[in-house]
Amino acid sequence: MIRLKELREAKHMSQQAVADVFHVTQQTIFKYEHALAEPDLDVILHMADFFDTSVDYLIGYTDVPFRYEVYPKDSITQSEQRVLEYYRRLSPKVQTLVQALADENQ
């Protein structure tokens, strides 16, 4: 779990807070962060979802922090998907401003 500590700290969470989310002990999170133990696959998947990243990034297999998605040819591109994900994280007020800006440029 090479990046667990980094991801936890980015969310300003203590080991205990993360332990509570994943229903394990604080000592277990410590062990994961220091490569003294490895979580089950279910826990790894839950962690990737919680930290909004890929399993590959979480375990150090890639340096790309976002998830890879495969889309059909007639679907949106990966870049478009990332923009949509960023948009969804904006406040409603900022979303309204983005929509107004997009309307002006049509």
User: Does residue 17 sit within a domain?
Assistant: yes
Does the pTM exceed 0.85?
no
Whole-number Å distance between alpha carbons of 47 and 41 = 10
What's the CATH code of the domain at 50?
1.10.260.40
Domain with 12 in it: 4-58
Cβ partners under 8 Å of residue 71, min gap 6: 77, 78, 81
Q: What is the mean pLDDT of the chain?
A: 90
pLDDT band at 73, cuts 50/70/90? low
**DSSP alpha helix (H) spans, the chain:** 4-10, 15-22, 26-33, 41-50, 55-58, 78-89, 92-104
φ/ψ bin of 33: left (φ > 0), alpha (ψ from -120 to 50), beta (otherwise): alpha
Instruction: Provide the domain count of the chain.
Output: 2
pLDDT band at 78, cuts 50/70/90? confident
Whole-number Å distance between alpha carbons of 49 and 5 = 16
Q: What is the pLDDT of residues 25-65, one digit of tens each?
A: 999 999 999 999 999 999 999 999 999 999 999 999 888 88
Instruction: Return the pLDDT at 41.
Output: 95
pLDDT at 100 over 60: yes
User: Does residue 28 sit within a domain?
Assistant: yes
Instruction: Return the pLDDT at 64.
Output: 85
User: Does residue 77 sit within a domain?
Assistant: yes
The answer to whether residues 10 and 54 belong to one domain is yes
